[in-house]
Amino acid sequence: MGAAQPLHILQTTDIAIESQRHRLAEIEASLGESEALIQAREAQQSAQDAFTKTQARLRALDSETKGFSEKIVQADRKLYGGTVHNPKELQSMEADLHQWQRMRSSLEDQSLEAMLRLDEERAVLTTQGQVLAEIEASWRQSQSTLQAEKSELLASLAQLENRRQQQVTAIPQAHLATYERLRQRFGHAVALLQGSACSGCGMTLPTGQAQQVRMSQGLTFCPNCQRILTATL
């Protein structure tokens, strides 16, 4: 095995580590409540608040209506019960009675409107609840899948990092330093010789240089991009 081939093997491990770390970062960003779930929960809460507010309004209207009904009953009794004889007092009582009847009628109209609105809001609340349940179920399934993938990635990364440590110990420090420097610069430090061409930049090497890559026990570099060259395994 040439001197560059262990570096190429190490690069393959590094690429796998970087890919899995990138995927792990994506999973971490996706864990937690999604925007769709947050919006669905807010919509459901908004529908619940509107429904509760209308319910309270309807109870208040019913209470007011009941109060005027009681006043009307009492006024009827006094007005037609024969206990009041003063004309002015009777006239005042009759005026109050008519006013209370008008107010009760207005409250009844408002109650009817509130009941209709309550029916509409109940339908919206039911729909929003169903939407939230569906989104939440899908989200929980997605979170479970992501957590499982995360666990697998962490185990795989541990194996890859252990493999890398073993690979590094077999590489001379000078070669490893060169590899790390070129990796920082290019991302990929080692390029394959494909025929007579560098896979990193595409330059075709003279026949003599290509043969040197295949035969050399030291590191050989592409004269164009300066990557380490190695022949295919």
What secondary structure does DSSP assign to 139-156, as a single string? HHHHHHHHHHHHHHHHHH
Report pTM: 0.72
pLDDT digits (tens, 9 = 90+) for 97-156: 899 999 999 999 999 999 999 999 999 999 999 999 999 999 999 999 999 999 999 999
Domain identity same for 61 and 150: yes
Domain identity same for 158 and 219: no
Higher pLDDT: 166 or 97? It is 166
Backbone angles phi, psi at 218, to 5 degrees: -100, -170
Number of structural domains found in the chain: 2
pLDDT winner (highest mean) among 29-43, 71-85, 88-102: 29-43
Structural domain of 206: 172-231
Alpha carbon distances (Å) from 186 to 102, 122, 227: 86, 62, 8
Mean pLDDT of the region 204-222: 87
Helix axes 35-80, 87-169, angle to 10 degrees: 170
Domain identity same for 74 and 149: yes
Q: Does some domain include residue 94? A: yes
pLDDT at 16 over 70: yes
Instruction: Specify the DSSP element, H or E, that contains 230.
Output: strand 228-231
